Amino acid sequence: MGSSCCYVLLIGPSGVGKSHIAAAIACHLIEHDVRVKWFSAVALVQSLQQAKRDLNLITVMTRLDKYQILVIDDIGYVKKSDAETQVLFEFIAHCYESGSLIITSNQPFSEWDQIFPDTMMTVAAIDRIIHHATIIEIEGESYRKKQSLEK
Protein backbone atom coordinates (compact mmCIF):
# COMPACT_ATOMS: atom_id res chain seq x y z
CA MET A 1 0.00 0.00 0.00
CA GLY A 2 2.91 2.34 -0.20
CA SER A 3 5.47 3.62 2.25
CA SER A 4 3.41 6.23 4.07
CA CYS A 5 0.17 5.57 5.83
CA CYS A 6 -2.61 7.61 7.23
CA TYR A 7 -6.02 6.83 8.57
CA VAL A 8 -9.17 8.88 8.39
CA LEU A 9 -11.87 7.96 10.86
CA LEU A 10 -15.38 9.27 10.39
CA ILE A 11 -17.33 8.69 13.59
CA GLY A 12 -20.93 9.60 14.29
CA PRO A 13 -24.48 8.33 14.56
CA SER A 14 -26.27 6.56 11.74
CA GLY A 15 -27.43 8.74 8.85
CA VAL A 16 -25.19 11.79 9.32
CA GLY A 17 -23.23 11.31 6.09
CA LYS A 18 -20.10 9.36 7.10
CA SER A 19 -20.28 6.93 4.17
CA HIS A 20 -21.10 9.79 1.80
CA ILE A 21 -18.02 11.72 2.93
CA ALA A 22 -15.85 8.58 2.65
CA ALA A 23 -17.18 8.03 -0.90
CA ALA A 24 -16.44 11.65 -1.82
CA ILE A 25 -12.86 11.34 -0.52
CA ALA A 26 -12.46 8.02 -2.39
CA CYS A 27 -13.78 9.52 -5.65
CA HIS A 28 -11.42 12.49 -5.33
CA LEU A 29 -8.46 10.15 -4.77
CA ILE A 30 -9.44 7.96 -7.75
CA GLU A 31 -9.59 11.10 -9.95
CA HIS A 32 -5.97 11.66 -8.90
CA ASP A 33 -4.92 8.12 -9.89
CA VAL A 34 -4.88 6.71 -6.37
CA ARG A 35 -5.92 3.04 -6.19
CA VAL A 36 -8.86 2.74 -3.80
CA LYS A 37 -10.96 -0.26 -2.74
CA TRP A 38 -14.25 0.02 -0.84
CA PHE A 39 -15.56 -2.62 1.57
CA SER A 40 -18.46 -2.76 3.91
CA ALA A 41 -16.84 -3.93 7.15
CA VAL A 42 -19.10 -6.99 7.25
CA ALA A 43 -18.15 -8.00 3.66
CA LEU A 44 -14.44 -7.48 4.40
CA VAL A 45 -14.62 -9.60 7.54
CA GLN A 46 -16.53 -12.36 5.73
CA SER A 47 -13.94 -12.36 2.94
CA LEU A 48 -11.07 -12.50 5.43
CA GLN A 49 -12.76 -15.28 7.41
CA GLN A 50 -13.17 -17.34 4.23
CA ALA A 51 -9.52 -16.75 3.35
CA LYS A 52 -8.47 -17.86 6.84
CA ARG A 53 -10.57 -21.05 6.54
CA ASP A 54 -8.88 -21.69 3.18
CA LEU A 55 -5.46 -21.08 4.82
CA ASN A 56 -5.05 -18.14 2.45
CA LEU A 57 -5.33 -15.11 4.75
CA ILE A 58 -1.82 -13.69 4.26
CA THR A 59 -2.15 -14.03 0.48
CA VAL A 60 -5.50 -12.22 0.44
CA MET A 61 -4.24 -9.42 2.71
CA THR A 62 -1.07 -9.07 0.62
CA ARG A 63 -3.22 -8.78 -2.55
CA LEU A 64 -4.99 -5.83 -0.95
CA ASP A 65 -1.62 -4.09 -0.56
CA LYS A 66 -1.86 -3.05 -4.24
CA TYR A 67 -4.49 -0.51 -3.20
CA GLN A 68 -3.16 2.72 -1.74
CA ILE A 69 -6.35 3.35 0.25
CA LEU A 70 -8.86 0.88 1.65
CA VAL A 71 -12.24 2.13 2.79
CA ILE A 72 -13.92 0.13 5.57
CA ASP A 73 -17.50 1.27 5.90
CA ASP A 74 -19.56 0.72 9.06
CA ILE A 75 -17.00 -1.04 11.28
CA GLY A 76 -19.49 -0.85 14.14
CA TYR A 77 -21.71 -3.46 12.47
CA VAL A 78 -19.14 -6.25 12.74
CA LYS A 79 -20.49 -8.92 15.08
CA LYS A 80 -18.55 -9.67 18.23
CA SER A 81 -17.62 -13.26 17.45
CA ASP A 82 -14.03 -14.33 18.06
CA ALA A 83 -13.51 -15.51 14.47
CA GLU A 84 -14.79 -12.27 12.93
CA THR A 85 -12.95 -9.88 15.19
CA GLN A 86 -9.74 -11.90 15.08
CA VAL A 87 -9.45 -11.51 11.28
CA LEU A 88 -10.41 -7.84 11.54
CA PHE A 89 -7.67 -7.31 14.12
CA GLU A 90 -5.16 -9.22 11.96
CA PHE A 91 -6.12 -7.00 9.02
CA ILE A 92 -5.67 -3.80 11.06
CA ALA A 93 -2.30 -5.10 12.31
CA HIS A 94 -1.31 -5.97 8.70
CA CYS A 95 -2.15 -2.43 7.52
CA TYR A 96 -0.44 -0.74 10.46
CA GLU A 97 2.57 1.33 9.37
CA SER A 98 2.11 0.34 5.72
CA GLY A 99 -1.45 0.97 4.60
CA SER A 100 -3.90 3.82 4.53
CA LEU A 101 -7.47 3.36 5.67
CA ILE A 102 -10.66 5.35 5.71
CA ILE A 103 -12.96 3.91 8.37
CA THR A 104 -16.53 4.86 9.18
CA SER A 105 -18.09 3.94 12.50
CA ASN A 106 -21.37 4.67 14.21
CA GLN A 107 -19.70 3.89 17.54
CA PRO A 108 -17.22 6.09 19.41
CA PHE A 109 -13.99 4.45 20.59
CA SER A 110 -15.47 4.11 24.06
CA GLU A 111 -17.90 1.54 22.62
CA TRP A 112 -15.42 -0.42 20.47
CA ASP A 113 -15.37 -3.11 23.17
CA GLN A 114 -18.65 -4.13 21.49
CA ILE A 115 -16.67 -4.87 18.30
CA PHE A 116 -13.67 -6.70 19.78
CA PRO A 117 -14.17 -9.54 22.28
CA ASP A 118 -11.51 -8.59 24.79
CA THR A 119 -10.10 -5.38 26.20
CA MET A 120 -6.51 -6.02 25.12
CA MET A 121 -7.55 -6.50 21.47
CA THR A 122 -9.76 -3.40 21.61
CA VAL A 123 -6.97 -1.25 23.04
CA ALA A 124 -4.41 -2.62 20.55
CA ALA A 125 -6.71 -2.03 17.55
CA ILE A 126 -7.57 1.52 18.63
CA ASP A 127 -3.91 2.27 19.40
CA ARG A 128 -2.82 1.20 15.90
CA ILE A 129 -5.63 3.11 14.21
CA ILE A 130 -5.31 6.42 16.07
CA HIS A 131 -1.49 6.55 15.77
CA HIS A 132 -1.73 7.90 12.19
CA ALA A 133 -5.34 9.06 12.23
CA THR A 134 -7.30 12.15 11.48
CA ILE A 135 -10.49 11.68 13.48
CA ILE A 136 -13.60 13.48 12.31
CA GLU A 137 -16.59 13.32 14.63
CA ILE A 138 -19.88 14.15 12.97
CA GLU A 139 -22.87 15.15 15.04
CA GLY A 140 -26.46 15.76 14.12
CA GLU A 141 -29.65 14.04 13.15
CA SER A 142 -29.98 11.40 10.49
CA TYR A 143 -30.57 12.86 7.03
CA ARG A 144 -32.81 9.89 6.27
CA LYS A 145 -34.87 10.60 9.38
CA LYS A 146 -35.15 14.32 8.48
CA GLN A 147 -36.29 13.44 4.94
CA SER A 148 -38.91 10.98 6.13
CA LEU A 149 -40.28 13.55 8.63
CA GLU A 150 -40.52 16.16 5.87
CA LYS A 151 -42.70 13.85 3.76
Most confident of 61-65, 83-87, 117-121: 61-65
Residue 59 to residues 11, 47, 69, 100, 129, Cα–Cα distance (Å): 30, 12, 18, 18, 22
The domains of the chain, with CATH numbers, are 7-150 (3.40.50.300)
For residues 38 and 22, give the distance between their C-alpha atoms in angstroms, rounded to a whole number.
Answer: 9
Prediction pTM value: 0.86
List, for residues 46-82, the tens digit of each pLDDT value.
999 999 999 999 999 999 999 999 999 999 888 767 7
Within 13 Å of residue 124, how many CA atoms lie on the same side as its CB?
Answer: 16
Element at 48 (helix H, strand E): helix 41-53
Q: Are the CB atoms for 45 and 141 separated by under 8 Å?
A: no
Whole-number pLDDT of residue 114: 82
